[in-house]
C-alpha cells in the first residue's frame, strides 16, 4: 500500500485525544464500543519490528497510557490490545475496554456478536486529561 492510498496517512474526521511528532491517539466512537481508542504512528511503517527499539518503546508507552486512562475512567472488566494491520498495513494499536455485558464478551470484538450489547460511554475530556498528565510529548 502506498502512502497516498493509505487512510492513516490521509486521515479524515479523527477524534484526536493526543497528538505529537511521533503518534496520535484517537477515540474511534465505535457504536458498540464508545471507549475504543487507537494509537496511530504518524509515519507509514508496517510492523513493530520495522521500528527502532526506542521507537517501539515510545509507541508502547502511549498504548499503556491509554490502557491506564481507560481503566481509570471506565473500569472495564478487561482491556484488549491488538496491532493487526492486515487491511491497513500502517502501524496502529487498538485499545479496547471490554465489559461482561458488551456485544462480544468474552470473545474478541472481531468475532460474531453474542448479544445486543451494552455500549459503555466515556467522557473525552477525562481521557484527554489523563493522557496529558501521563504521556510526555515527543
Site residues for a second copy per CB under 8 A: 46-49, 56-57, 60, 64, 67-68, 71, 77-87, 89, 98, 105-108, 110-112
- In the complex, least distance from residue 14 CB atom to a second copy, rounded to whole angstroms: 22
* Of residues 138, 135, 130, 124, the one with CA closest to residue 43: 138
* Of residues 16, 8, 70, the one with CA closest to residue 41: 8
- In the complex, least distance from residue 2 CB atom to a second copy, rounded to whole angstroms: 16
The answer to whether residues 121 and 34 touch, using CB atoms and an 8 Å cutoff, is yes
- In the complex, least distance from residue 17 CB atom to a second copy, rounded to whole angstroms: 17
Instruction: Indicate the residue among 26 and 51 with the shorter CB distance to a second copy.
Output: 51
The answer to whether residues 25 and 37 touch, using CB atoms and an 8 Å cutoff, is yes
Amino acid at each position: 500500500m502506498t502512502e497516498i492510498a493509505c487512510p492513516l496517512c490521509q486521515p479524515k474526521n479523527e477524534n484526536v485525544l493526543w497528538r505529537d511528532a511521533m503518534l496520535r491517539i484517537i477515540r474511534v466512537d465505535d457504536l458498540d464500543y464508545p471507549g475504543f481508542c487507537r494509537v496511530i504512528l504518524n509515519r507509514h511503517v508496517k510492523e513493530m519490528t520495522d521500528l527502532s527499539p526506542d521507537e517501539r518503546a515510545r509507541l508502547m508507552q502511549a498504548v499503556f497510557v491509554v490502557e491506564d486512562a481507560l481503566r481509570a475512567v471506565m473500569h472495564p472488566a478487561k482491556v484488549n490490545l491488538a496491532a493487526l494491520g492486515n487491511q491497513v498495513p500502517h502501524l496502529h494499536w487498538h485499545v479496547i475496554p471490554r465489559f461482561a455485558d458488551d456485544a462480544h464478551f468474552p470473545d474478541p470484538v472481531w468475532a460474531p456478536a453474542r448479544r445486543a450489547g451494552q455500549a459503555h460511554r466515556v467522557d473525552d475530556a477525562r481521557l484527554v486529561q489523563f493522557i496529558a498528565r501521563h504521556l510526555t510529548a515527543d
